Amino acid sequence: MNDFLDQFEQKPGEEQDPWLVAETDEDGMPMIYRVRQNIPAHVDIAEFPNLICVVWEYDTAVGNGMPGGEVAEQQALFEDALDAFIEEGGASEHMVVVTGNGRKEWLWYAKNPDNWIEGFSNALNELPPFPVEIQGYEAEGWAAYKDLKQVLEESGGA
Protein backbone atom coordinates (compact mmCIF):
# COMPACT_ATOMS: atom_id res chain seq x y z
CA MET A 1 0.00 0.00 0.00
CA ASN A 2 2.91 2.39 0.63
CA ASP A 3 3.86 2.24 -3.06
CA PHE A 4 0.31 3.35 -3.86
CA LEU A 5 0.53 6.26 -1.39
CA ASP A 6 4.05 7.28 -2.49
CA GLN A 7 2.73 8.53 -5.82
CA PHE A 8 0.85 11.30 -3.98
CA GLU A 9 3.80 12.75 -2.09
CA GLN A 10 4.69 16.26 -3.13
CA LYS A 11 8.15 16.53 -4.63
CA PRO A 12 10.57 19.32 -3.67
CA GLY A 13 10.06 22.32 -5.91
CA GLU A 14 6.50 21.39 -6.90
CA GLU A 15 3.89 24.13 -6.84
CA GLN A 16 1.99 24.25 -3.56
CA ASP A 17 -1.49 22.79 -3.95
CA PRO A 18 -1.49 20.38 -1.03
CA TRP A 19 -3.91 17.50 -0.73
CA LEU A 20 -5.03 15.79 2.45
CA VAL A 21 -4.51 12.04 2.20
CA ALA A 22 -6.10 9.55 4.55
CA GLU A 23 -6.25 5.77 4.63
CA THR A 24 -9.32 4.12 6.14
CA ASP A 25 -11.26 0.95 5.49
CA GLU A 26 -14.69 0.15 4.17
CA ASP A 27 -16.18 -3.32 4.51
CA GLY A 28 -12.75 -4.60 5.52
CA MET A 29 -11.07 -3.17 2.41
CA PRO A 30 -8.55 -0.30 2.41
CA MET A 31 -9.69 3.11 1.15
CA ILE A 32 -7.53 6.07 0.18
CA TYR A 33 -9.09 9.54 0.27
CA ARG A 34 -7.33 12.48 -1.39
CA VAL A 35 -8.92 15.88 -0.93
CA ARG A 36 -7.51 19.25 -1.96
CA GLN A 37 -6.58 21.03 1.21
CA ASN A 38 -7.77 24.40 -0.06
CA ILE A 39 -10.35 25.75 -2.42
CA PRO A 40 -8.32 27.65 -5.04
CA ALA A 41 -8.21 31.39 -4.36
CA HIS A 42 -9.75 32.22 -7.76
CA VAL A 43 -12.85 30.09 -7.05
CA ASP A 44 -16.17 31.53 -5.94
CA ILE A 45 -18.02 28.33 -4.98
CA ALA A 46 -21.37 29.90 -5.85
CA GLU A 47 -20.18 29.91 -9.50
CA PHE A 48 -19.57 26.12 -9.40
CA PRO A 49 -22.98 24.69 -8.44
CA ASN A 50 -22.51 21.25 -10.06
CA LEU A 51 -20.80 18.23 -8.51
CA ILE A 52 -19.65 15.75 -11.13
CA CYS A 53 -18.51 12.32 -10.01
CA VAL A 54 -16.69 9.93 -12.34
CA VAL A 55 -16.83 6.36 -11.03
CA TRP A 56 -14.72 3.43 -12.24
CA GLU A 57 -15.70 0.10 -10.66
CA TYR A 58 -13.34 -2.88 -10.74
CA ASP A 59 -12.90 -6.34 -9.21
CA THR A 60 -12.16 -6.23 -5.46
CA ALA A 61 -10.43 -9.64 -5.59
CA VAL A 62 -7.31 -8.11 -7.16
CA GLY A 63 -5.16 -5.97 -4.87
CA ASN A 64 -7.39 -6.28 -1.78
CA GLY A 65 -9.85 -3.78 -3.18
CA MET A 66 -7.23 -1.48 -4.70
CA PRO A 67 -6.74 -1.26 -8.46
CA GLY A 68 -4.07 -3.65 -9.63
CA GLY A 69 -2.55 -5.04 -12.80
CA GLU A 70 -4.27 -3.96 -16.00
CA VAL A 71 -6.86 -1.86 -14.14
CA ALA A 72 -4.11 0.20 -12.48
CA GLU A 73 -2.39 0.67 -15.85
CA GLN A 74 -5.64 1.75 -17.52
CA GLN A 75 -6.47 4.16 -14.68
CA ALA A 76 -2.99 5.69 -14.99
CA LEU A 77 -3.56 6.17 -18.74
CA PHE A 78 -6.98 7.70 -18.01
CA GLU A 79 -5.56 10.11 -15.42
CA ASP A 80 -2.62 11.08 -17.64
CA ALA A 81 -5.03 11.90 -20.46
CA LEU A 82 -7.02 14.11 -18.10
CA ASP A 83 -4.00 16.07 -16.79
CA ALA A 84 -4.35 18.99 -19.22
CA PHE A 85 -8.13 19.09 -18.65
CA ILE A 86 -7.62 19.18 -14.86
CA GLU A 87 -4.85 21.79 -15.02
CA GLU A 88 -6.87 23.99 -17.35
CA GLY A 89 -9.25 24.92 -14.52
CA GLY A 90 -11.52 27.90 -14.81
CA ALA A 91 -14.70 26.06 -15.76
CA SER A 92 -14.24 23.23 -13.25
CA GLU A 93 -12.13 22.28 -10.26
CA HIS A 94 -10.92 18.76 -9.51
CA MET A 95 -11.21 18.41 -5.73
CA VAL A 96 -11.42 14.77 -4.54
CA VAL A 97 -10.20 11.27 -5.44
CA VAL A 98 -11.40 8.19 -3.56
CA THR A 99 -9.82 4.78 -4.24
CA GLY A 100 -10.63 1.37 -2.79
CA ASN A 101 -13.20 -1.36 -2.22
CA GLY A 102 -13.58 -1.93 -5.94
CA ARG A 103 -14.03 1.64 -7.14
CA LYS A 104 -12.20 4.83 -7.91
CA GLU A 105 -14.04 8.13 -7.90
CA TRP A 106 -12.92 11.53 -9.15
CA LEU A 107 -14.99 14.54 -8.05
CA TRP A 108 -15.16 17.87 -9.83
CA TYR A 109 -17.15 21.01 -9.20
CA ALA A 110 -18.22 22.67 -12.44
CA LYS A 111 -19.81 25.86 -13.60
CA ASN A 112 -21.67 24.17 -16.46
CA PRO A 113 -22.02 20.36 -16.71
CA ASP A 114 -22.41 20.45 -20.50
CA ASN A 115 -19.13 22.34 -20.90
CA TRP A 116 -17.47 20.00 -18.40
CA ILE A 117 -18.52 16.87 -20.32
CA GLU A 118 -17.32 18.41 -23.58
CA GLY A 119 -13.86 19.16 -22.13
CA PHE A 120 -13.70 15.76 -20.42
CA SER A 121 -14.66 13.96 -23.64
CA ASN A 122 -12.18 15.99 -25.71
CA ALA A 123 -9.36 15.04 -23.32
CA LEU A 124 -10.12 11.35 -23.86
CA ASN A 125 -11.21 11.38 -27.51
CA GLU A 126 -8.10 9.66 -28.90
CA LEU A 127 -8.22 6.78 -26.42
CA PRO A 128 -10.42 3.71 -26.30
CA PRO A 129 -13.50 3.98 -24.06
CA PHE A 130 -12.97 3.57 -20.32
CA PRO A 131 -15.46 1.78 -18.04
CA VAL A 132 -16.57 4.87 -16.15
CA GLU A 133 -19.95 6.16 -15.11
CA ILE A 134 -20.53 9.89 -14.82
CA GLN A 135 -22.97 11.16 -12.22
CA GLY A 136 -24.08 14.75 -11.70
CA TYR A 137 -25.55 16.45 -8.66
CA GLU A 138 -26.49 19.90 -7.48
CA ALA A 139 -23.67 21.03 -5.22
CA GLU A 140 -24.72 24.30 -3.69
CA GLY A 141 -22.14 25.31 -1.12
CA TRP A 142 -19.81 22.35 -1.85
CA ALA A 143 -21.09 20.45 1.19
CA ALA A 144 -19.68 17.07 0.05
CA TYR A 145 -16.16 18.49 -0.29
CA LYS A 146 -16.34 20.48 2.95
CA ASP A 147 -17.73 17.56 4.96
CA LEU A 148 -15.13 15.10 3.66
CA LYS A 149 -12.30 17.57 4.22
CA GLN A 150 -13.46 18.17 7.80
CA VAL A 151 -13.61 14.43 8.53
CA LEU A 152 -10.10 13.93 7.12
CA GLU A 153 -8.69 16.86 9.10
CA GLU A 154 -10.30 15.62 12.31
CA SER A 155 -8.96 12.10 11.71
CA GLY A 156 -5.43 13.43 11.26
CA GLY A 157 -5.32 12.69 7.52
CA ALA A 158 -2.58 14.72 5.87
Question: pLDDT tens, 98-142?
Answer: 999 999 999 999 999 999 999 999 999 999 999 999 999 999 899
Residues 6+ apart with CB under 8 A from 129: none
Residue 56 in 3-state DSSP? strand
Predicted pLDDT of residue 1: 47
Domain tally for the chain? 1
Predicted pLDDT of residue 158: 53
What single-letter DSSP state applies at residue 65?
Answer: G
| Dihedral sign computed on CA atoms, order 114, 101, 74, 89 | positive
Task: Say how far apart CA 104 and CA 82 lie, in whole Å.
Answer: 15
Residues of the chain with pLDDT under 50: 1-14
Predicted pLDDT of residue 15: 52
| Dihedral sign computed on CA atoms, order 55, 109, 97, 27 | negative
Domain residue limits at 81: 2-154
Spatial strand order of the sheet with 50-57 comes to 19-26, 29-36, 92-100, 103-110, 50-57, 132-138
